Amino acid sequence: MHVEKRVTSQDIAKTEGGDIKALGDTKPEAVTSQTRRKSYQDLLAFCYRRLKEIYNAYKGNAGGLLSPMKRDLLLRLRAEIETVADSWLSIALKSLLLIQSRGRCMNVLVTTTQLVPALAKVLLYGLGEVFPIENIYSATKIGKDSCFERIVSRFGRKVTNVHNMPFWHVSAHGDLVSLHQALELDFL
């Protein structure tokens, strides 16, 4: 009895010289590890591309992801939050827009929230236009220090203050108002 083995794209690898050979010509345990790692990286890359597509498509209108009833509920909830929080979100958005309007400045978000929930929050709060997806970092798995190292390696060291970056600690409404005033007066 003759059994024919079907060769798939995962069963093929390139040698260092660029020739293609069947993975059966190499050690099975090494191939399995390489194949798994490559498959995992491909899956992560695909997921990130898809997240980026969705984020960019709805960054100006997260309500487009929702049914009309849920969109109205979201808008009412935002209005209630604004009232209870003394316009916290509006002041924050104005500050972020001021920062974004400066040619030499950029908004970067570092959060301890996992990436997907962080992206959802940014969209739901209407902040997608001021935070490009490339500038949202999750420190959940790698830590804040690693995030800041990546930011510095990406943008350079010509920045000042915390982690060599402009930083304004906001823990109360007054801190946010002070930040906005400092931005308007061009102190930052």
pLDDT in tens, 96-113: 999 889 877 888 888 889
The whole model's pTM is what? 0.71
Cβ 111 vs Cβ 118: under 8 Å = yes
1-20 residue pLDDT tens: 444 444 344 443 433 344 43
Identity of residue 117: P
Per the structure block, which two tokens stand in for 118?
């962080």
Token pair in block for residue 58: 């709805």
Predicted pLDDT at 73: 94
Can you tell me the distance from the alpha carbon of 105 to that of 109, in angstroms, rounded to the nearest whole number? Answer: 13
Pick from 37-46, 82-91, 150-159: least confident: 150-159
* DSSP type of residue 24: G
**Contact status, residue 180 vs residue 94, Cβ threshold 8 Å:** yes
Cβ atoms of 62 and 127 closer than 8 Å = no
Which domains, and CATH codes, for the chain? 10-58 (no CATH), 90-184 (3.40.50.12350)
Q: Which residue has the higher pLDDT, 170 or 132?
A: 132
Higher pLDDT, 162 or 55: 55
pLDDT single digits (tens) 22-51:
444 445 555 567 777 778 888 889 999 999
What's residue 14's pLDDT? Answer: 38
Distance CA 168, CA 170 (A): 6
Rounded to 5 degrees, what are φ and ψ at 104? -95, 5
Task: Taking residues 136-161, report their average pLDDT.
Answer: 81
In this prediction, residue 17 carries a pLDDT of: 41
Half-sphere exposure of residue 99: CA atoms within 13 angstroms, side-chain side: 21
